[in-house]
Structure 1
Amino acid sequence: MSVPTRTPSAPGRLGDPATTLETDPRADPRMLAVLRGLGLTGHPDPAPLGPDADRAALLGFVDAVEEGFEGLFAGLAAAWTPVPGVTRELLTLQGGGGPITLHVHRPDGVDGPLPCLYQVHGGGMVMLSAAGPLYGHWRDELAAAGAVVVGVEYRNGGGRLGAHPFPAGLDDCVTGLRWVADHRDELGATHVVVTGDSGGANLALALALRARRDGWADAVAGVYAQCPYILGDWTEPPAELGSLVECDGYWLDRALFPLLAAVYDPVGGHAGDPTCWPFRAGPEHLAGLPPHIISCNELDPLRDEGLAYHRMLLAAGVPSVGRINPGLCHVGELMFREAMPDVYAAAVRDVVGFARSVA
């Protein structure tokens, strides 16, 4: 008599440590087809060093990782059709650490003021650039959907725009956001919603916390955070953050996170500061914040810290909507525009729709 094959009772690598993104039945097949062609469905190679490595080695590691991610994103975006009907402009502000570039995208032929999306790019706060083609296209799509979009080029903790540990990048984002809020009429904007992905979502959440702390909370009408990277300490993560094990190695390796954290916040000097690591926020930091949407992806190691933050907001009385995008890896809704146009378009509609809703 044959014994029936049983599906593991727990998902992903919780049920079977050998599970990969390729073999997880939840993975969207369109996403897999793209990642398979790039050789990215297996477990990533382990990092060659740990977070206790010297700073020069950590910065060199980030340089190499940045080059890989920039190449991946540029390759993905190369096939994307340009978005018609959008005008781009560069503005330069003087910040405390030097010039800050703002990438302004406006839809053509639209009468009347529009919501403004202040967009903060991802990269773990230590790499990548607002000028990259993936983020330029994303801002074009948001603008074409009916928003004034401003992307901020901030100092990274490492990489080509580094090395500037916390709070340099956040300070630049603050300078840009306050300028945008003060120049809404000039920009043709009614109000400002902050949005970002991954490390940019960290900074988007931190901007709301910083604005509340420093007494200018009325500058932020809402926050839309995608796949936020906010924990800050992965040595003994809380048990409720099961996605760190369940989805470990699904495009991102959990071991990467403490390395990026060591570059952004050397020696953990700001480990308890919610404006560095929003997961550390308590009710006293969250109460009174504007509406949030926390959007997480099902197959992302960072999924559960985002959902935990959503629940923290609700517990503090903050209007918040939590979302899970089925079958997607970390920031998958931004990466696969050609292979998954419906998913990409839905993300655009949701971000712009939220910006309109908080007017």
Structure 2
Amino acid sequence: MSKVLDAIPASVQQRAQSAVLLSLLRLPRPLLRRVAGPPTRVDGQELALEVQALLRLQALAGQERMAADTPEKARAGMAQGIEVVRGAGVSGVQVSKRTVSAGSGELPARLYRPEGRTEPSTLLVFYHGGGWVVGDLDTHDELCRFLAKHADIRVLSVDYRLAPEHPFPAAAEDAVDAYQYVLENAEDLGSSADSIAVGGDSAGGNLAAVVSQHATANGLKSPVLQLLLYPATDAGTRRRSRELFGNGFLLTDGDMDWFMDMYQPEVSARSDQRLSVLRNEDLTGLAPTVLITAGFDPLRDEGEEYGRRLSEAGVPVISRRFPDLIHGFANLFGASPRLREAMFEIVGELRAGLSLHSGG
């Protein structure tokens, strides 16, 4: 049987896995509950049924962790996982290849423009997540398409150097350089220097926060908004959510140690504000923020603490917790109606945040 499977192209096997998974997740709720098991309740929250079923199926397939023996295997694993849950895909978006000049060289990028949007618009510079070790333009392609189409803005997804080949502060430096490049080339990208936002998920949310802090501290034009999806904000403190949700909810405690050891192996240097943005004592003057967290996420508490600190510093903050979801849910929206519903809510928050800038 294994020889038969080996003869089937990987792409065909992947499409078959995707079809089976998505079909299972669309079973009637009583049947899906039988797949998922009894409801998972932690810290006064109940995990979404579709998410619990997805996690159960991943566990049965032996795919409970994001880390792997090598960075290459982890990258391949993330890419495969994203493809399996991709679903029908997002249409109505024009995508073009770009490059962004940085101190480290030319960074690959993709520009997303909603079809029909020919006039200038807000441009969201987006940094992908993946613990600064995995992830790329492909793994976050559908997410960027979704944000561009439904927020009716342009999105520039920027690749950056990954660890361990390029440890801290390489990713942070690339993120800052990319933002400066966009400010200088905004018109060519269909926007203006007065309409540039930054955003990202997880490690990418960390990079977006780094960019916003750098701009304020160095006299650059500040982003009009920062969209932080379950960001990493403090590499030096273990908070309660990491203890509660460190195992069984996609991003594990071991994963987080593995990623950090790759990105910044020097423990004593992890308080650097270009990594632990929460350690910055002065957050005044930063860009208005849409901050999204997930209830079953080990990063939940540090993300929400960053939101509180921003608000205390006088920064306008729209903070939203999805109590029934897990870390990384924005990349999984093709898997179930609940996850897609959450993404539409995020787009609504994004549009509300941008309206503060436009005054509309």
TM-score by length of 2: 0.80
| Matched residue SS, 1:262 | helix
Q: Does 2:186 align with 1:192? A: no
- One-letter amino acid of the counterpart of residue 266, structure 1: P
In the TM superposition, what whole-angstrom CA distance separates every residue of 1:308-348 from its partner, at most 9, and x where no partner exists?
A: 11111122222222210121010213313241232232223
> 2:211 matched to which residue of 1?
207
Q: After superposing the two structures, state which structure 1 stretch, 342-351 or 249-258, moved more.
A: 342-351
> 1:152 matched to which residue of 2?
158
Cα 1:221–1:61 shift into 2, 3 Å: same
Q: Does 2:292 align with 1:295? A: yes
| Matched residue SS, 1:221 | coil
Pairwise CA distance, 1:273: 1.4
| Matched residue SS, 1:266 | coil
| Matched residue SS, 1:157 | coil
1:137 is aligned, of 123, 133, 142, to 142
> 1:165 matched to which residue of 2?
167
Are the equivalent residues in 1 in contact too, given 2:67–2:259 (CA < 8 A)? no
Pairwise CA distance, 1:354: 2.5
Pairwise CA distance, 1:22: 6.5
| Matched residue SS, 1:354 | helix
Give, in whole Å, the separation in 1 of the partners of 2:91 and 2:325: 24
Give, in whole Å, the separation in 1 of the partners of 2:98 and 2:64: 38
| Matched residue SS, 2:326 | coil
Are the equivalent residues in 1 in contact too, given 2:236–2:271 (CA < 8 A)? no
Stretches of 4+ aligned residues off by more than 4 angstroms: 20-23, 40-48
Cα 1:21–1:71 shift into 2, 3 Å: farther
Identify the structure with the greater helix proportion.
2
- One-letter amino acid of the counterpart of residue 298, structure 2: P
| Matched residue SS, 2:253 | coil
Are the equivalent residues in 1 in contact too, given 2:66–2:251 (CA < 8 A)? no
Pairwise CA distance, 1:228: 0.9
Cα 1:121–1:165 shift into 2, 3 Å: same
Give, in whole Å, the separation in 2 of the partners of 1:75 and 1:43: 12
Pairwise CA distance, 1:63: 3.0
Are the equivalent residues in 2 in contact too, given 1:116–1:355 (CA < 8 A)? no
1:80 is aligned, of 84, 88, 104, to 88
- One-letter amino acid of the counterpart of residue 277, structure 1: S
Give, in whole Å, the separation in 1 of the partners of 2:230 and 2:78: 17
> 1:5 matched to which residue of 2?
none
In the TM superposition, what whole-angstrom CA distance separates every residue of 1:115-149 from its partner, at most 9, and x where no partner exists?
A: 111111000112211232xx111111222121010
Cα 1:111–1:321 shift into 2, 3 Å: same
Give, in whole Å, the separation in 2 of the partners of 1:346 and 1:184: 28
Give, in whole Å, the separation in 2 of the partners of 1:112 and 1:212: 29
| Matched residue SS, 2:70 | helix
The within-5 A match list for 1:28-43 is 28-39=48-59
> 1:358 matched to which residue of 2?
357
| Matched residue SS, 2:187 | helix
User: Highest relative contact order (Cα 8 Å, sep 6+), 1 or 2?
Assistant: 1
Q: After superposing the two structures, state which structure 1 stretch, 309-318 or 268-277, moved more.
A: 268-277
Are the equivalent residues in 1 in contact too, given 2:198–2:227 (CA < 8 A)? yes
Give, in whole Å, the separation in 1 of the partners of 2:312 and 2:37: 33
Are the equivalent residues in 1 in contact too, given 2:82–2:331 (CA < 8 A)? no
| Matched residue SS, 1:287 | coil
> 2:223 matched to which residue of 1?
220
Query: How many aligned residue pairs are there?
Result: 313
In the TM superposition, what whole-angstrom CA distance separates every residue of 1:199-221 from its partner, at most 9, and x where no partner exists?
A: 101101111111122221x2411
Are the equivalent residues in 1 in contact too, given 2:291–2:307 (CA < 8 A)? yes
Q: Does 2:278 align with 1:273? A: no
Pairwise CA distance, 1:41: 10
Pairwise CA distance, 1:21: 9.6
In the TM superposition, what whole-angstrom CA distance separates every residue of 1:9-56 from its partner, at most 9, and x where no partner exists?
A: xxxxxxxxxxx99751301012223333333799947989xxxxxxxx
Q: After superposing the two structures, state which structure 1 stretch, 147-156 or 244-253, moved more.
A: 244-253
In the TM superposition, what whole-angstrom CA distance separates every residue of 1:275-328 from its partner, at most 9, and x where no partner exists?
A: 12212221x2x1111111211001111100001111111222222222101210
Are the equivalent residues in 1 in contact too, given 2:216–2:222 (CA < 8 A)? no
Are the equivalent residues in 2 in contact too, given 1:295–1:323 (CA < 8 A)? yes
Q: After superposing the two structures, state which structure 1 stretch, 108-117 or 189-198, moved more.
A: 108-117
